[in-house]
A and B are shown apart, each in its own frame.
Chain A
Amino acid sequence: MSPELIIAIIVTVVGASTPILIAALGELVVERSGVLNLGVEGMMLVGAITAFVVVFLTGNHYLAILLAAAAGLGTSLIFGFLTLSLSANQTATGLALTIFGTGFSALAGQGYSARPVTLLGPLFPSELATHPIWRVLFGYSALVYFALIMVVAIWWFLKKTRAGLILRAVGENDLSAHSIGYSVIGVRYLAVMFGGAMAGIAGACFPLLLTPQWAERMTAGRGWIAVALVVFASWRPFRLLAGAYLFGLVMTMELYAKAGGGPLSVVPSELWAALPYLATVAVLVLISIRRDASTNAPACLGKPFLPSN
Chain B
Amino acid sequence: MQFRLEKRREPSKVMVYATPVAAVVLTMVVGAIIFSLIGYDGVGAVREIFLTPLTNSFKWQDLGVKAAPLIIIGVGLSISYRANVWNIGAEGQYIIGGLAATWVALATHGMTGWWILPTMFVAGMLGGAAYASIPALLKTRLNVNEILTSLMLTYASVQLIYYLVRAPWKDPMGMGFPQTRIFSEAARLPTLIPGTIVHLGVPIAIVVALIAWFIMSRSVFGYRMRVVGAAPHAARYGGFSENKTIWLALLVSGGLAGMAGMLEVAGPFQRMVPGFPTNYGFTAIIVAFLGRLNPLGVIFAGIVMAITFVGGEVAQTTIGLSSSATGVFQAMMLFFLLAGDILIRYRIKRVVPAAEVRA
Contact = CB atoms under 8 A, between A and B. Distances in A.
B86 A302 contact: yes
A96 B286 CA distance: 8
Given A274-B160, A302-B86, A308-B7, A280 B152 contact: yes
A6 B260 CA distance: 47
Contacts of A102: 324, 327
Interface stretch (B116-124, B210-218, B332-340): B332-340
A103 B324 contact: yes
Interface stretch (B57-65, B125-133, B136-144, B186-194): B136-144
Contacts of B282: 95
A301 to B, nearest CB: 7
A285 B144 contact: yes
Interface residues of A, number: 53
A82 B289 contact: no
Nearest to A88: B338
Interface string A169-187: 0000000000000010110
A100 B328 contact: yes
Interface string B144-169: 11011101110110011011001100
Contact of A100 (B138, B147, B331): B331
Tell me the interface secondary structure of chain B in the complex: helix
A86 B341 CA distance: 8
A110 B322 contact: yes
B338 A93 contact: yes
B326 interface: yes
B358 interface: yes
A271 interface: yes
Tell me the interface secondary structure of chain A in the complex: helix
Contact of B147 (A36, A87, A185): A36
A289 B148 CA distance: 16
A99 B338 contact: no
Nearest to B38: A107
A273 B329 CA distance: 32
A288 B143 CA distance: 7
B342 interface: yes
A86 B323 CA distance: 29
Contacts of B159: 270-271, 273-274
B142 A288 contact: yes
A270 B327 contact: no
A104 B328 contact: yes
A179 B160 CA distance: 48
Contacts of B339: 81-82, 86, 88
Contacts of A268: 163, 167
Contacts of A87: 341-342
Given A285-B138, A302-B86, A106 B327 contact: yes
Interface stretch (A11-19, A64-72, A120-128, A224-232): A224-232
B331 A97 contact: yes
Nearest to B282: A95
Contacts of A285: 138, 142, 144
A103 B342 contact: no
Contacts of A110: 322, 324
Contacts of B358: 183, 185
A91 B331 contact: no
Contacts of B324: 102-107, 110, 216
Contacts of B289: 89, 92
Contacts of B147: 36, 91, 301-302
A95 B342 CA distance: 18
B285 interface: yes
Nearest to A85: B359
Contacts of A96: 286, 331, 334-335, 338
Contacts of B143: 288
Interface of B: 7, 86, 88, 134, 138, 142-145, 147-149, 151-153, 155-156, 159-160, 162-163, 166-167, 282, 285-286, 289, 322-332, 334-335, 338-339, 341-342, 358-359
27 contacts: A86-B338, A95-B282, A99-B327, A99-B334, A100-B331, A103-B330, A103-B331, A104-B327, A107-B324, A216-B324, A224-B151, A224-B155, A228-B151, A228-B155, A268-B163, A268-B167, A270-B159, A270-B162, A271-B163, A281-B156, A284-B145, A284-B149, A284-B152, A285-B144, A288-B138, A297-B148, A302-B86
Given A100-B331, A104-B324, 17 more contacts: A82-B338, A88-B341, A91-B285, A104-B327, A107-B327, A110-B324, A189-B359, A224-B155, A228-B152, A268-B163, A268-B167, A270-B162, A273-B162, A288-B138, A288-B142, A301-B145, A302-B86
Interface of A: 36, 38, 78, 81-82, 84-89, 91-93, 95-97, 99-100, 102-107, 110, 183, 185-186, 189, 216, 221, 224, 227-228, 231, 268, 270-271, 273-274, 277-278, 280-281, 284-285, 288-289, 297, 301-302, 308
Task: Return the 9 tightest CB-CB contacts between A and B, nearest first.
Answer: A103-B327, A106-B324, A100-B331, A288-B142, A96-B334, A270-B163, A88-B338, A274-B159, A270-B159
